[in-house]
Structures are given as structure tokens and as C-alpha cells.
Amino acid sequence: MKALVFGTTGQLGIELARTAPPGTLLLAFGREVADLTHPEACAALVAATDADVVINAAAYTAVDAAETDRETAHRVNAEAPGAMARASAARAIPFLHVSTDYVFDGSGTRPWREDDPVAPLGVYGATKLAGERAVMAAGGAHAILRTSWVFSAHGRNFVKTMLRLGAERETLPVVDDQCGGPTAAADIARALWTIAGTFAGGRGTSGVFHYAGAPTVSWAGFAEAIFAASSLPRKPAITRISTAGFPTPARRPAHSALDCARIRAAYGIEQPDWRASLAKVIRELEASA
């Protein structure tokens, strides 16, 4: 299988390279070659490829910055995926795209299903939703993977931030009224490779799929699990605070747990336990420290 991957330097792009199945030929483009602020240039790379699958692992993920940098966020999260999906459809190449729990408003208490009403609270979620719709409108074979709370040993993420702050401070205030499913980038990468391989075998199912870690936890609960799994000699105390106590430019969904039954039915992909994945990430971080 030959795969064309956009976004090689981010958390997911790195893990896609690390977890690629044996025999996979990876054509990976980073920002220096495939700048998603120029959608048609990215589409041209797709039009020129002979890959069996195109995977878009790139995105504008600065949630708060998107509130003022709307044009860039829309170009990267909506226009670029649409252009790449149209080019993929023209070549009859399956297009795999990663989206977010932020397409929902976070109301309710049960995990969100793929066909639940979408109502993003901010620019980031709105641009990611526009990207989903552009991919579907392209008319080609596709899989859109909504995920949440991505973490890894690379880049910027909550796990690395907590470990850094935990080594410096005795107490940490962490939001306790936002709940979701932490998801390891490596787990997302493996799910994408399973989907890609299924499409390559002629059995792929197009649509939107949810894939996030379980069990549901708050940010404060996640922080406590991070420190419990770490070997920090002195663990900071977590002070559980409300969202109101930690204001941000962009609103976050209060409840963003995702129902992952559809991806299990279509691809046999089980919902991952983030606790096991967290332990692996922390071991990697501590081994490289």
C-alpha cells in the first residue's frame, strides 16, 4: 500500500510514520512542501500522486487563536481538506480526514453519536465542521474520524504540559467540569491504518466515525492519572476548578465523550483505554528525558 500523508510534523503525523504497516510506502509531506494555507497546491500534490490512499493529519489546532485568526483557520481546516478531497475523488483515491469533538456544543450527558446535531461553540469547531462537509461534498470514498483530547510524547499537549508544570509547582488548578475521552495519537494512527488497509482491500465504508479513548474523565481526573503514572518524586496536588475559574478566548464543550460503536461495526476497531496508552507515553517521555 502506498499512502500520501499530509502533516508529518504533528503528533498524529509522527505516529502515522511510526505505526505504518510493514510494506507501506509512505509519501509524507510537511508544511515546508504542503502548506495547507494554499489549498490548491495541496490538491495538486494529490492530483500528481499514484498513492492508494490520502490521509490528512494536518490541521489548525490552536483553539483560542482561531477566534481572532479566523481566515487562516478556515483555510487550513475547511478549504484545504475540501480541495484535497476533490482531487482524491477525481483520482478515485480514498481520502481519510481527522476531525474533532468540538463540532458538538457539549450539552447532555450521553456520549455523542455521529448523527447527533452539530453546534460548534467557537471558530475552531466551526471550521472543522466546514471541513467535514467539504470532504463529504467532494463525492469520493472517504472516512472522517472525529477524535478528542489528543496526546503523545511529541509536540504540545496536555500530558506534557502537566508533567512540566508538575515538576515546578506544588499545586495545580485544573478544570473539572469538562469531560471527554483522552486519545493517544498512536491509537488514532493505528485506527487510520486499519481503515486505509480496508479501503485498499476494496471493503472500505465511507462516512463519519467517532474514535476516542475511554473511560470518560474530566481534565482534573486526567491530570491526576498523569501524575499517578509518572515517576515524579513529588506529585503536585490538583485543585479542581470550574470552567468559569479558568476563562479562555474560545468556549469548550462541557461534555464531549464520543460513542464509538459505528467504527467498531464498520471496521472492527475497538475503543482504546487511554490509561494504558498514557502509561506508554509517559514511559517514552521519561526514557527520553
Q: How is residue 67 annotated by DSSP?
A: G
Reply yes or no on whether the pLDDT at 31 is more than 80.
Answer: no
In a domain, 138, yes or no: yes
In a domain, 193, yes or no: yes
Secondary structure (H, E, C), 147-215: ECCEECCCCCCHHHHHHHHHCCCCEEEEECCCEECCEEHHHHHHHHHHHHHHHHCCCCCCEEEECCCEC
Tell me what pLDDT residue 16 has: 97
In a domain, 127, yes or no: yes
In sequence order, which residues have a C-beta less than 8 Å from that of residue 224 and are 6 or more positions away? 238
Nearest-angstrom CA–CA distance, 14 and 153: 10
- The catalytic position among 102, 124, 211, 267 is 124
Tell me what pLDDT residue 263 has: 98
In a domain, 245, yes or no: no
**Single-letter code of the amino acid located at 115:** D
Asked whether the beta carbons of 129 and 59 are under 8 A apart, the reply is no
In a domain, 161, yes or no: no
Reply yes or no on whether the pLDDT at 29 is more than 90.
Answer: no
Measured N-to-C along each axis, helices 185-200 and 11-19 cross at an angle, to the nearest 10 degrees, of: 60
Is the peptide bond preceding residue 215 cis, with omega within 30 degrees of 0? yes
CB atoms within 10 A of CB 170: 9
CB atoms within 10 A of CB 156: 10
Q: Which domain holds residue 262?
A: 2-155+181-213+256-271
Q: What is the mean pLDDT of residues 85-103?
A: 98
Per-residue confidence at 61, pLDDT binned at 50, 70, 90?
A: very high
Active-site residue, 102 included: no
Asked whether the beta carbons of 253 and 121 are under 8 A apart, the reply is yes
In a domain, 88, yes or no: yes
**CA separation (Å) from 123 to 70, 78, 79, 203, 226?**
7, 11, 14, 35, 29
Span 208-260, pLDDT tens digits = 999 999 999 999 999 999 999 999 999 999 999 999 998 999 999 999 999 99
Domain containing residue 78: CATH number = 3.40.50.720
What predicted TM-score, i.e. pTM, was given to this entire model?
0.96
In a domain, 9, yes or no: yes
Nearest-angstrom CA–CA distance, 77 and 281: 27
In a domain, 172, yes or no: no
DSSP E strand boundaries for 15-156 = 25-29, 53-56, 95-100, 142-147, 150-151
Q: Which residues of 64-82 are buried (b: 16+ CB within 10 A; e: fewer)?
A: ebbbeeeebbbbbbbbbbb
Nearest-angstrom CA–CA distance, 283 and 140: 40
Percent of the chain with pLDDT over 70: 100
Reply yes or no on whether the pLDDT at 129 is more than 80.
Answer: yes
Q: In which residue are the cell numbers 498523569 written?
A: 226
Tell me what pLDDT residue 28 has: 85
Show the cell assigned to 17.
510514520
Nearest-angstrom CA–CA distance, 258 and 210: 6
Number of compact structural domains in the chain: 1
